[in-house]
Structure 1
Amino acid sequence: MGLNNMHKLFWRFFLVFWATLLMAVILVRLTFTWDNSSRLLPPENMLPAGAFFFATPSIPATPLIAAQSINPTDLPASIDISRHPVPPFWRHPLLHLSVLLAASILFSWVLARNIAAPVGQLKLALAGLAANNWRTQLGPELITRRDEFGSLSRNFNQMAGQAAEAIASQRRLLHDVSHELRSPLARMQILTGLAAQSPSYAAIAMEKIEQEASKLDELVTEILTFSRLESGAVSAEHIDINLAELVSSVCDDARLEADSSNKSLWLHLENVPLIKGDPSLLYSAIENVIRNAVKYTPPYSEVSVCLRQHQHQLSLQVRDQGPGVPPQYLSKLFTPFFRAQSNHNGIGLGLSIAKRATEACNGSIVVANIMTNNEITGFSVVISLPLNSSLIQLP
């Protein structure tokens, strides 16, 4: 199929190129002549520019005489005006036409091949994507080009890589969600059976069943929240929020979880002004960040939460003393369903939800490892939110 396309391009370029050359030759032949005899020459001083180029050097030059003043008796006897001069072979029109024909064929073939070859490879790559081969990539012979095909090839590889990562993330989601749902359901089924067999165990079983149901509800809520944020179905409100109260409420709940795991949570709140935002979205973002910190910090360590005003924005910094994240994974932490440490529970949506919720409130979120003596000693997340324009005091 690619060869057929190349043939079509070849003939199109060839016909256009050759038609242009042929028109040029016809115009030249209509303007000038290879015959330098003096049969009907233009009037004196009216010769077209460049006519001397077609004069034949092998024939003695003859002064040009106006046609109306020609007198055969005045011509030298050695010149036969009935004889047409024959140009040398390197000036013959047929040779020129042959050279132009060969050049046009070569030009059209090279141009058609230069266009058809990358187009054919792109077509095969797109066919691979259509066949669900999402890891299709174009080779270095295309991506190293410095023309439009090179740029298109690099963009294609980037698009295919992102599509492959998205497909892999969805597959991981199906696996992780099914696992996360199946585990509490299986435990609830066991607890129900034990409660039926031993009525004395019913109270304990019901308490544990309630805990498992709470985990299921939390998981489903997290998935639904991310789905709504990703699809744009959530319309963020912009009302006055006391961020200090919101952070304090989240920390009260997280402190219970930290205390049960022999971890401590330290909170520092400055007197900050109100901001505009969506309370539910910001609560979800802050809760995901603080609960992640409590989850990954080791026992007998501390999680610090600090809220302060920095210039024209509020900054919420959450630091833990956990193992951090390998540097090569930092840029992927906000990718949905990505987990830098697979040995922890969760499906990798916490930071993705936090990022989208923060951006919906015109804020930003930044993550980084805490380094001490070139070693990772913790992890830091900073959420920045703009102040109300009416509260910003201009100097």
Structure 2
Amino acid sequence: MGRLFWKFFFATWLVQALAVLAISTGIWFKDRNAAHRSARVDFGPPGAFAVDAAAQTLRFGGLPALRALLTQHDGIQLYAVDAGGHELLGRPTDAALLQELRQLHARDPAAHALQTVQAEGNDWLLFAARSEQRGARARSHGLGGHRAPRDGYFPLMPMLLAMLGSLVSAALLAWHFAKPIRRLRTAFDAVAAGKLDTRIGAPARRGDELTDLSRDFDRMAQRLEDEHAAQRRLLHDVSHEMRSPLARLQAAIGLARQRPDRVGTWLDRIERESTRMDAMIGEVLALARLDAGVGGALGDEVVIDELVAQVVDDARFEAQASGKSVSLSATGASVVRGGAEMLHSAIENVVRNAVKHTEDGTAVTASVTPDPRAGLVRIAVCDHGPGVPDAELALIFRPFQRGSQNTALPGHGLGLAIAQRVVRSHGGEISARNRDGGGLCVEIVLPLASGAGAPR
């Protein structure tokens, strides 16, 4: 058992034990006081005989005769108390004792030791008290032949049973709380040792905060496992993509040594391959920064229509050389909150990818459509290229993943992966679909800034 178990156990048991002790002591004092009060009343035959004589005197002689009897009676002290609690001779009486005696008389009206007689418009309770000389020898019996409680009796056995029950309940409660925490600790140790597939699988029947914590741990472990797998896959893909240009570099160097007269041609090849490797490394670093969440500030208000227009103008200028064109359709000025440079990079990657894959002599169409009711703006970029097989539409956003129909075109397969990271960091989504008649459409959905989105 861990330290948390013992802390829960001792704290819970101490509270329960103190509660049991306090309740038992209170009951004991109450019963003891009741026993003391009952012990002062004579329920035996002498007391019953004296009370019966007083009742007959009151019925036939009235209050004066009863007052004389109470004054002259020796050995046993007789008391006569009216309904208001006043004793006939003015002697002090205990209100709690009187209430207890009236309850006893109500339960057993035929008892001779307690009698109620109506005289002169009042109900008189008659009972006898033991004298000091008879107190040590008299036995005090309850009505019906039962003994009155013993003076000084302490409920030790019930208290011990209650303490035992509190001990068991405290142990069960501590075990109930400590068990999932021990499982969490074991799971954390396993993850720290590299076992990222560790899961707790907390039962839903608990339904408490510890269950929620276990679910959070499972989600964390799943995220770590996914990120670890993605990093390993990225490392594998980078090494695979770097192998080809490195091989060409080595071949160019070898050919330059064999044919010094053509060294200029091989130097041009080396320059192209090094430029390609530099671009790929830059894209990999950008992707790594986005995965690490250090892409930049996201608090700027960006007019997305103007940003898309800048990207389209740059792409249109570059596409003219191959007889391609890029058009833009936008209404109003939609404002989103985020990083202008990051959004520019994401949209530029999508537009450049479309320009690269569209057929010569065709146009790439871009549109910006705000939806103020939904609080969204949609950016669609469509080309007239070969498209992507439906089974690969979700895969083209992975790093170094390219459509099977586009492997002959230059590129590393990182542009759409970077765009997806940027869009998701802005709370949006990106998706791809094949358009009717051929070509691919990539749609970016971004949330509008608060209070923005209406055309102006």
- Per the normalisation by structure 2, the TM-score is 0.62
CA contact (8 A) 1:243 1:275 kept: no
Residue identity matched to 2:12: F
- Name the structure 1 match of 2:140: 81
Query: Match of 1:32, SS?
Result: helix
Deviation of residue 179 (structure 1)?
Answer: 2.9
CA contact (8 A) 2:430 2:443 kept: yes
Cα distance change on mapping 1:315 and 1:47 into 2, 3 Å: same
- Any residues of structure 2 matched to 1:1-395 within 5 Å, and which? 1-2=1-2, 5-33=4-32, 35=35, 38-39=38-39, 43-46=93-96, 63=114, 70=129, 72=131, 80-81=139-140, 85=147, 93-140=155-202, 142=203, 145-199=206-260, 201-229=262-290, 230-232=292-294, 234-235=296-297, 241=306, 243-250=308-315, 252-253=317-318, 267-270=326-329, 280-293=341-354, 304-310=364-370, 315-319=378-382, 321-324=387-390, 337=399, 339=401, 349-358=414-423, 364-370=428-434, 380-382=442-444, 384=446, 392=454
**Unmatched runs of 5 consecutive residues or more in structure 1:** none
> CA offsets, 1:238-286, max 9 Å, x none?
6874532422323554687xx6xxxx96633136567778664344212
CA contact (8 A) 1:370 1:377 kept: yes
Between the aligned partners of 1:218 and 1:51, the Cα distance in structure 2 is 104
Between the aligned partners of 1:52 and 1:326, the Cα distance in structure 2 is 94
Cα distance change on mapping 1:316 and 1:44 into 2, 3 Å: same
For the aligned residues, what is the CA RMSD? 5.1
> CA offsets, 1:62-109, max 9 Å, x none?
65999x984649x9xxx7239993669xx9924422431232122112
Give the number of equivalent residue pairs.
368
Cα distance change on mapping 1:303 and 1:273 into 2, 3 Å: same
CA contact (8 A) 1:293 1:319 kept: yes
Cα distance change on mapping 1:281 and 1:122 into 2, 3 Å: closer
CA contact (8 A) 1:194 1:205 kept: yes
CA contact (8 A) 2:312 2:326 kept: no
Between the aligned partners of 1:198 and 1:36, the Cα distance in structure 2 is 125
Query: Match of 2:147, SS?
Result: coil
> CA offsets, 1:349-395, max 9 Å, x none?
534532454578x68443144488xxx9955322558599899557x
Residue identity matched to 1:307: S
Between the aligned partners of 1:127 and 1:138, the Cα distance in structure 2 is 12
Query: Match of 2:95, SS?
Result: coil
**Percent of aligned pairs with the same amino acid:** 28
- Tell me whether 191-200 or 226-235 shows the greater mean CA deviation: 226-235
CA contact (8 A) 2:327 2:366 kept: yes
Query: Match of 1:136, SS?
Result: coil
Residue identity matched to 1:39: A
**Unmatched runs of 5 consecutive residues or more in structure 2:** 42-91, 116-123
Query: Match of 1:270, SS?
Result: strand
Between the aligned partners of 2:100 and 2:435, the Cα distance in structure 1 is 80
Cα distance change on mapping 1:163 and 1:358 into 2, 3 Å: closer
Cα distance change on mapping 1:134 and 1:39 into 2, 3 Å: same
CA contact (8 A) 1:316 1:382 kept: yes
Deviation of residue 24 (structure 1)?
Answer: 1.6
Residue identity matched to 2:35: D
Between the aligned partners of 2:112 and 2:390, the Cα distance in structure 1 is 94
Deviation of residue 166 (structure 1)?
Answer: 1.6
Asked which structure has the greater CA Rg, the reply is 2
CA contact (8 A) 1:323 1:377 kept: no
- Per the normalisation by structure 1, the TM-score is 0.70
CA contact (8 A) 1:173 1:347 kept: no
> CA offsets, 1:103-134, max 9 Å, x none?
21221121111112111111101111222222
Between the aligned partners of 1:234 and 1:31, the Cα distance in structure 2 is 75
Between the aligned partners of 2:247 and 2:102, the Cα distance in structure 1 is 101
